[in-house]
Amino acid sequence: MANEAKKSTTPLLDDLEKGKWPSFVREIKKMADKNPRAKDLLGQLEMSYRDKVTHWKHGGLVGVRGYGGGVIGRYSDSPDKFPNVAHFHTIRVNQPSGWFYTSKALREICDIWEQHGSGLTNMHGSTGDMVLLGTSTDNLEPIFSKLTSKGWDLGGSGSVLRTPSCCLGKARCEFACYDTLALTNDLTHEFQDVLHRPQFPYKWKFKMAGCPNDCVASVARADMSIIGRWKDDVRVDQDAVREYAKSGVNVQTEICDLCPTQCMSWDGRELKIENTWCNKCMHCINAMPKALRPGKDTGATILIGAKAPILQGAELSSVLVPFMKIEPPYKELKDLVEKIWDFWGEYGKNRERIGELIQRVGMGQFLEAIELPPSPQMIKNPRENPFIFYEEYFEEEGSGEGSK
């Protein structure tokens, strides 16, 4: 080993083969033995580790015919040294809802990628796509046609609808308040055109979470976050609560005291919930899943506008529709989405996310445009400043209403 390290051309990266956590360096090295792209990636990466800067140049526009996204162009700044990564584009393959696979399906992808790319992947990208990490321009069309022949399509990049993603929902979670997988699949198919062809001012992300635990981080990472919730009472199995208590759960301090609305009480025998106050935070249910369950009158809260910090500072999504039933064919939701996209298309500046646009025009203005009623659930608190854009006033003569 010590001997080998001495000869190594990648002494810095070699260090990252050590340690208990599985090593990405080992992943690259294993491919490097058979795949020249992977080999040159390793070499260039070692150079970055030495120089402490990236050696990738600004991406160029590359893609497959008729699509405006799905491929991230990437070029080495040292193609002389690393000719096999002179081009090193990634391909975003739209994952199935909830990242469920069969081994058969995955093997098919591997075979295509073995033939046409670096053999390296990200499972998955943080938007949700399968990311095939690095190939050259001439391989793009072949890969695309092979993928589609096996039933796969590209995900989004650029000013398009980005690949929607979701938590696993009803497939394996008892908390899911609507069918996140079905909705994700439906929206993805419904909006194929805007996913593949840039028609928006900037990117748009959908993320669907089955309940307020938000296991897909939708509130932080999606222009529209669809988070399941219920309207009726938390379902309580008192026997099971007592079981938990018996097995060591301190129902008072671990459950009641941590309820953010302080709407629970426990007398040692019965757990009482003042459901009108419950804000559906999930804590009590999370802590005692055998005893408590969300109600049966379920749907979702629609939130809007999350994004990363460039340029106005990061945003979390905020409440747009406090409660909506989420059932096929999802007409209410789709109508809403279309209205918002129309407004964004008309008023959004280039590279302006919907959340930024709403801040710029004002939430009230936005609601009016998309014909949604304002509701106190949308806000933490009403305005604190008195700078109100009242819209009507009476004309001097008292003859009628003016308006701005």
Partner 1 sequence: MESVQAEQRRTDIGPPNYENFLHPVIKKNYGTWKYHEILKPGVLVHVSETGEKIYTVRMGSPRLINIETIRMICDLADKYSDGYLRFTSRHNVEFLMTDQSKIDPLISEIESKGYPVGGTGKSITNIVHTQGWVHCHTPATDASGIVKSVMDELYDYFRTMKLPAKLRIALACCLNMCGAVHCSDIAILGVHRRPPKILSNLNKLCEVPTTVASCPTGAIAPAVVDGVQTVEVNEEKCMFCGNCYTMCPAMPLANSLNDGVSIWVGGKVSNARHAPMFSKLAIPYIPNNPPRWPEVVDAVKNIVEIYAKNAKKYERLGEWIERIGWSRFFDMTGIEFTKYHIDDYRFAATTYNTSTHFTL
The site for ligand SRM (CB under 6 A) is made up of: 59, 72, 74, 90, 92, 98, 122, 124-129, 131, 155, 163, 167-168, 173-175, 203, 205, 213-215, 217, 221, 286, 307-308, 310, 353
CA distance 130 to 1: 34
Residue of 45, 46, 44, 38 whose CA lies nearest to 119: 38
User: What's the CA gap between 17 and 155, in Å, rounded?
Assistant: 32
Q: Which residue, 313 or 402, has its beta carbon nearer to a copy of itself? A: 313
Minimum distance of ligand SF4 from residue 329's CB (angstroms): 22
Instruction: Name the residue nearer to a copy of itself (CB basis): 276 or 385.
Output: 385
Distances (CA, A) of 269 to 3, 205, 251, 255, 285: 68, 46, 10, 14, 18
Residues of span 13-72 touching partner 1 by CB under 8 A: 13, 15-16, 18-28, 30-31, 38, 41, 45, 48-49, 51-59, 65-67, 72
Residue 221: name the closest of 205, 201, 203 by CA. Answer: 205
What are the backbone dihedrals phi and psi of residue 36, each rounded to the nearest 5 degrees, phi first?
Answer: -60, -30
Q: Which residues 257-316 are close enough to bind partner 1 by CB under 8 A? A: 258-260, 276-283, 286-287, 289-290, 293, 301, 303, 305, 308-316
Give the one entry of ligand SRM, ligand SF4, a copy of itself, none that residue 209 binds, where binding means its C-beta sits below a cut-off of 5 to 8 angstroms depending on kind. Answer: ligand SF4
Taking CB under 8 A as the rule, does residue 313 contact a copy of itself?
A: yes
330: left (phi over 0), alpha (psi -120 to 50) or beta: left
Which residue in 119, 131, 117 sits closest to 165, CA to CA? 131
CB of 388 to partner 1, least distance (A): 5
The binder of 236, among a copy of itself, ligand SF4, ligand SRM, none, by C-beta within 5 to 8 A per type, is: none
Q: Which does 210 bind (CB under 5 to 8 A by kind): a copy of itself, ligand SF4, partner 1, none?
A: ligand SF4
Between 114 and 174, whose beta carbon lies closer to ligand SRM? 174
Q: HEC states along 287-299? A: HCCCCEECCCCEE
Minimum distance from residue 181 beta carbon to ligand SF4 (Å): 10
- The item of a copy of itself, ligand SRM, ligand SF4, none sharing an interface with residue 384, based on CB under 5 to 8 Å by kind, is a copy of itself
Residue 32 · residue 8 · CB < 8 Å: no
Q: Is 81 in the site for partner 1 (CB under 8 A)?
A: no
Q: For 200, list phi and psi in degrees, rounded to 5.
A: -105, 165
For the chain, the residue count is 404
